[in-house]
Structure 1
């Protein structure tokens, strides 16, 4: 009687020689390398986030647009508030955009706070090249 698959021990599959290429040896796993690369990626990401925060995320000079009105061919009026250190000054970028998103006006405005005052509300008339659709204050920074 011949052996059947039920009576033989399982072995590795046999492939015809030269037909499927050579078999590769199993890879050596290096969990410490994965952990090291992950730690480096986290440190680099934290450094980049910290740098971007110092450039663009200063809470001492945080602007907030209250309203923009009177959009004409000549300009737009932007009413905004900014948080300033008491007695300090900040320079804010004020800009206007048209309906298609193009920038039609831009200016830097210096806002000064009185001693003991932190939130300063300012109204600024920005000259534009054509009719503006919206006015915005994307960032403020300490005044020079």
Structure 2
């Protein structure tokens, strides 16, 4: 401390009281028998909890597999290849669809203008080729105005 600031020179020798060292306890100390049995530190996994987690995991995998089989890869999956330069009255759409052997696919085609409005639709039937697999189809869609984009909205089995 700066002695020029203090009013009394004896103030330089004063302290706040006797210095006490402090020792902290590492664990809480409770009175014996008052709060029941204390657990040992560390988490132990109980068998029912582990079994419940395994069962939930197996059920989740089973449900995922079932939904994939029902809604996953379909046999009638269309893929747009392109379209020709549209006119004011029609748009020619070229697409590819996978059709199983002996089946026929019914596909819904759509033409849209630059703003995204639908200007024409057409349903076409695509028979399977010999040996099954993908069939490439070129079909025209009549439009009410000049289209800019051709889509295959869906393909599904006939009937």
TM-score norm. by structure 2 comes to 0.59
Asked if 1:11 corresponds to 2:27, the answer is: yes
CA–CA separation in structure 1 for the residues paired with 2:69 and 2:131 = 30
Aligned match of 1:98: 113
- Secondary structure of 1:70's partner? coil
1:3 deviates by 7.7
Aligned match of 2:124: 109
- Secondary structure of 2:55's partner? helix
CA–CA separation in structure 1 for the residues paired with 2:121 and 2:140 = 11
Counterparts in 2 of 1:31 and 1:86: CA distance versus 1, 3 Å: closer
Contact 1:66–1:80 (8 Å) recurs in 2: yes
Aligned match of 1:37: 56
TM-score norm. by structure 1 comes to 0.63
1:85 deviates by 3.5
Contact 1:88–1:114 (8 Å) recurs in 2: no
Asked if 1:84 corresponds to 2:99, the answer is: yes
- Secondary structure of 2:64's partner? helix
State how many pairs are aligned. Answer: 126
CA–CA separation in structure 1 for the residues paired with 2:26 and 2:67 = 55
1:78 deviates by 0.7
**The structure with more radius of gyration:** 2
- Secondary structure of 2:59's partner? helix
Asked if 1:142 corresponds to 2:144, the answer is: no
Asked if 1:70 corresponds to 2:85, the answer is: yes
Aligned match of 1:131: 146
Instruction: Indicate the structure whose relative CO is greater, using CA pairs within 8 Å and at least 6 residues apart.
Output: 1
Counterparts in 2 of 1:10 and 1:81: CA distance versus 1, 3 Å: closer
- Secondary structure of 1:12's partner? coil
> What per-residue deviation string (whole Å, max 9, x for no partner) do you get for residues 83-136 of structure 1?
333454221121122333333322220022454575433221112243322112
Counterparts in 2 of 1:11 and 1:87: CA distance versus 1, 3 Å: closer
